[in-house]
C-alpha cells in the first residue's frame, strides 16, 4: 500500500461543501463537525468498509449507510477509530444515509466527528447516494468550465499585452490583475527591473526576492529563503539547500492544471547539505508568508531572469496563468536558440561576406517576403518592444531603427493590425527586391500615419488619393465643388454622369429621371463651376474631388 502520510487529492476542481448543502433537491444537513464554509470536496465515494483508509485518495465526501457498524459499536471505540482513519486518509467529509439500516445517525458517530472536526452530513431517505455523486460532478463541471474560461481570457489578455509597444510592463500588469496580487521581473543580478500591482509588505518582498534566488541559474543553490522556513521547489529540477514542506491544514485546490502547493512551517524534512557542485536549480518554487502566497519562475531564456508573484490567495488556474506569462516573458527577455536561429546567423554571415540575398534566402525558410515598417502610437520603441512585435508578427527578423521598427515577414503570413502600432506593409517580393520593398513599406507607413489608419498595404499602382494627405484632399474638394455643394441633385447627377463616362441615357436610368433632365443638370453644373466638362483633365479633377467630397456630404 502506498504511503498516505500526506494524502494526494484527485486532480479535479474542488467543490465547496456549502454549495452541496445549498442544493434544495438533495436536502442534505450538516449535523457535526466545524460549521465553517471552507471545506471543499474533490470526489464522492461510497464505501461500507469498516476501514476505508486504504481506498481513499484524500478530499472525498465518503458516503455510507452504516452497514459496517456492529451492534455494540456505541459502547466502544469503534466510531473513534473509524473517523480517525478517515481523517488520516485526508477525507473531506462524511455523508451518512438514513434508512434502510439506521433510522437516525448514531450519536457516537456525531460525537466522534465533532472530536476530530470531520464534517458529518445527514443524507435523508429520499436522496440516493447516486444523486449526491451526480450533484458533486455537476458542481465540478461548473467549476471546471469557469476555470477554463478564466484561464482562456487571461491567456488572450496576456498575449495581447505582449504585442504592445511596452510589452514587459504590460504583461506584468495583466498578470497582477489576473491573480489579484503583485508581479515582478528580476534581472540576472536580482534587481527589480519592472513591477506591477499592489506591492506586498517588506517581509514578503524580501522572501520573494530570496525565493527567486532558488530558481535563478547558478553554480550553487542558496539555503532557506523565507523567514518562515524553506521553500517548496516545484518543476523538473530539485534544488539543494531547501526543505520540502506540506501543509496538512487543508488539501490545496488542484485541477487539471495543478496549482503550486502551499508551504508552511510544519513537519519540515531534513535536506542534504549544500554542495558547490549541486544539481540544476528548480524551474519554479513557492512559499507562504503570513497568508501571502509567493512563487518564483525561472524564465526560459537562460539569462538569469526570474518572474516573481505575490498574491493574497491561490485560485484554481493561477499556476497556468502565471506559466503563460512566464513563457511570454521568456520570449521577451532572451534570444531563442534553435536550428532556425543558427540558420539566420549563417544567412547574416554570408551576406556580410558578399553573398547575394537570393543565395541566402533559403536559409530563412521562405521564398517571398513582405517588409513591415511599424511605429508605436505613443513612446519611441525599444529593443523589447521590437522583439515583442516580431513575435506577434511571427518573424524573428527585426530591425530597430530610431523611431521605426522594420520586420521581414514571410509573405504567406497575414500581417494584422496590432494595438498601439501603425503599420506600412510592402508588396510581396523576392530577396532581390528587398530594397524596393523597404521603400514601399516606408511610403505605406507614411500614408497610414497621414490617414490615421492602423495598417496600409502598398498598392502595385497607388491611386491619386493615396499620394495626397486626406485633409488636403477634402479641403480641395470642398473649395472646388462649393458652387454646386448646396444642391444635392446637381452633385449626385454630376457624380453619376462622370462614373458612367458621360452617358446621358445610362445616367437617366440610374437616377430615374428623363435624359433631358440629366442634360439640364450637367449644363447647370458646367455653368456654376465655370468648367469645360468635355475636357478629360477637368473631368478627372472633378471625379477626384467628388470621391473626397462624399464623406463631407454625409456629414452635412
Separation between Cα atoms, residue 330 and residue 302, nearest integer Å:
9
* φ, ψ for residue 322, nearest 5 deg: -65, -35
Res 337: pLDDT: 39
Phi-psi region of 66 (alpha: psi -120 to 50; beta: other; left: phi over 0): left
* φ, ψ for residue 404, nearest 5 deg: -125, 140
Place 555 in a pLDDT band, splitting at 50, 70 and 90. Answer: very low
Place 449 in a pLDDT band, splitting at 50, 70 and 90. Answer: confident
Of the listed ranges 259-268, 370-379, 409-418, 498-507, the one predicted with least confidence: 259-268
| Mean pLDDT rounded to a whole number for the chain | 79
β-sheet with 284-289: strand ranges across: 192-197, 182-186, 306-311, 292-298, 284-289, 232-234
pLDDT in tens, 411-439: 888 888 888 899 999 999 888 888 888 88
pLDDT in tens, 248-289: 333 333 333 333 333 333 333 333 434 444 456 688 888 888
Half-sphere exposure of 166 (CA within 13 A, CB side): 12
Strongest mean pLDDT among 80-94, 303-317, 365-379:
80-94
For residues 295 and 234, is the Cβ–Cβ distance under 8 A? no
**What spatial distance separates the first Cα and last Cα of the chain, rounded to whole Å?**
84
**Average pLDDT score over residue span 374-401:** 82
pLDDT in tens, 207-250: 999 888 888 876 544 443 333 333 444 433 333 333 333 333 33
Give the chain's radius of gyration (CA, Å): 36
Of the listed ranges 79-83, 144-148, 454-458, the one predicted with least confidence: 144-148
Q: Is the dihedral of CA 319, 322, 328, 330 positive or negative?
A: negative
Res 336: pLDDT: 42
Higher local confidence (pLDDT), 350 or 547: 547
DSSP string, 73-111: GGGTTHHHHHHHHHHHTT--EEEEE-SSS-SS--HHHHH
Whether the predicted pLDDT of 170 surpasses 80: yes
Helix (H, G, I), strand (E, B), or coil: what is residue 28? coil
What's the pTM value of the predicted model, to 2 decimals?
Answer: 0.45
Amino acid at each position: 500500500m502506498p504511503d498516505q502520510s500526506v494524502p494526494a487529492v484527485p486532480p479535479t476542481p474542488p467543490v465547496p461543501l456549502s454549495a452541496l448543502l445549498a442544493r434544495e433537491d438533495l436536502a442534505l444537513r450538516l449535523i457535526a463537525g466545524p460549521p465553517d464554509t471552507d471545506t471543499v470536496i474533490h470526489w464522492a465515494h461510497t464505501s461500507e468498509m469498516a476501514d476505508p483508509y486504504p481506498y481513499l485518495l484524500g478530499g472525498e465526501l465518503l458516503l455510507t449507510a452504516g452497514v459496517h457498524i456492529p451492534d455494540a459499536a456505541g459502547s466502544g471505540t469503534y466510531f473513534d477509530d473509524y473517523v480517525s482513519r478517515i481523517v488520516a486518509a485526508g477525507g473531506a467529509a462524511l455523508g451518512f444515509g438514513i434508512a434502510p439500516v439506521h433510522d437516525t445517525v448514531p450519536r457516537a458517530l456525531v460525537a466522534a466527528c465533532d472530536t476530530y472536526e470531520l464534517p458529518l452530513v445527514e443524507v435523508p431517505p429520499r436522496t440516493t447516494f447516486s444523486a449526491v455523486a451526480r450533484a458533486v460532478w455537476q458542481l465540478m463541471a461548473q467549476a471546471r468550465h469557469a476555470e477554463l474560461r478564466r484561464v482562456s481570457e487571461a491567456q488572450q489578455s496576456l498575449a495581447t499585452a505582449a504585442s504592445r509597444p511596452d510589452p514587459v510592463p504590460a504583461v506584468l500588469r495583466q498578470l497582477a490583475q489576473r491573480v489579484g496580487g503583485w508581479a515582478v521581473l528580476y534581472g540576472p543580478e536580482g534587481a527589480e527591473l519592472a513591477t506591477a500591482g499592489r506591492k506586498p509588505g517588506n517581509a514578503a518582498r524580501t522572501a520573494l526576492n530570496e525565493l527567486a534566488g532558488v530558481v535563478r541559474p547558478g553554480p550553487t543553490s542558496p539555503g532557506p529563503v523565507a523567514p518562515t522556513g524553506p521553500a517548496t521547489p516545484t518543476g523538473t529540477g530539485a534544488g539543494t539547500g531547501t526543505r520540502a514542506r506540506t501543509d496538512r491544514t487543508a488539501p490545496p485546490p488542484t485541477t487539471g492544471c495543478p496549482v503550486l502547493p502551499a508551504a508552511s512551517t510544519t513537519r519540515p524534512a531534513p535536506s542534504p547539505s549544500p554542495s558547490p557542485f549541486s544539481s540544476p536549480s528548480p524551474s519554479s518554487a513557492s512559499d507562504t508568508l503570513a497568508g501571502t502566497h509567493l512563487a518564483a519562475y525561472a524564465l526560459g531564456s537562460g539569462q538569469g531572469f526570474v518572474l516573481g508573484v505575490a498574491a493574497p490567495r491561490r485560485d484554481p488556474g493561477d499556476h497556468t496563468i502565471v506559466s503563460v506569462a512566464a513563457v511570454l516573458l521568456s520570449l521577451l527577455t532572451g534570444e531563442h536558440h534553435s536550428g532556425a536561429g543558427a540558420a539566420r546567423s549563417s544567412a547574416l554571415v554570408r551576406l556580410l561576406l558578399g553573398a547575394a540575398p537570393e543565395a541566402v534566402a533559403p536559409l530563412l525558410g521562405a521564398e517571398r517576403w513582405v517588409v513591415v515598417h511599424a511605429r508605436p502610437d505613443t513612446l519611441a520603441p525599444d529593443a523589447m518592444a521590437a522583439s515583442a512585435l516580431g513575435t506577434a508578427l511571427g518573424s524573428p527578423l527585426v530591425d530597430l531603427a530610431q523611431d521605426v521598427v522594420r520586420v521581414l515577414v514571410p509573405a504567406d503570413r497575414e500581417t494584422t493590425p496590432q494595438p498601439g502600432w501603425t503599420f506600412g506593409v510592402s508588396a510581396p517580393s523576392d530577396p532581390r527586391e528587398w530594397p524596393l520593398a523597404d521603400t514601399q513599406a516606408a511610403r505605406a507607413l507614411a500614408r497610414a500615419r497621414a490617414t490615421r489608419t492602423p495598417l496600409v498595404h502598398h498598392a502595385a499602382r497607388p491611386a491619386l488619393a493615396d499620394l495626397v494627405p486626406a485633409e488636403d484632399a477634402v479641403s480641395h474638394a470642398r473649395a472646388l465643388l462649393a458652387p454646386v455643394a448646396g444642391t444635392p441633385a446637381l452633385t449626385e447627377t454630376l457624380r453619376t454622369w462622370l462614373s458612367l463616362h458621360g452617358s446621358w441615357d445610362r445616367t437617366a436610368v440610374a437616377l430615374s429621371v428623363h435624359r433631358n433632365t440629366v442634360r439640364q443638370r450637367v449644363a447647370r453644373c458646367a455653368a456654376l463651376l465655370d468648367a469645360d466638362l468635355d475636357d478629360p483633365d477637368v473631368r478627372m479633377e472633378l471625379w477626384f474631388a467628388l470621391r473626397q467630397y462624399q464623406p463631407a456630404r454625409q456629414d452635412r
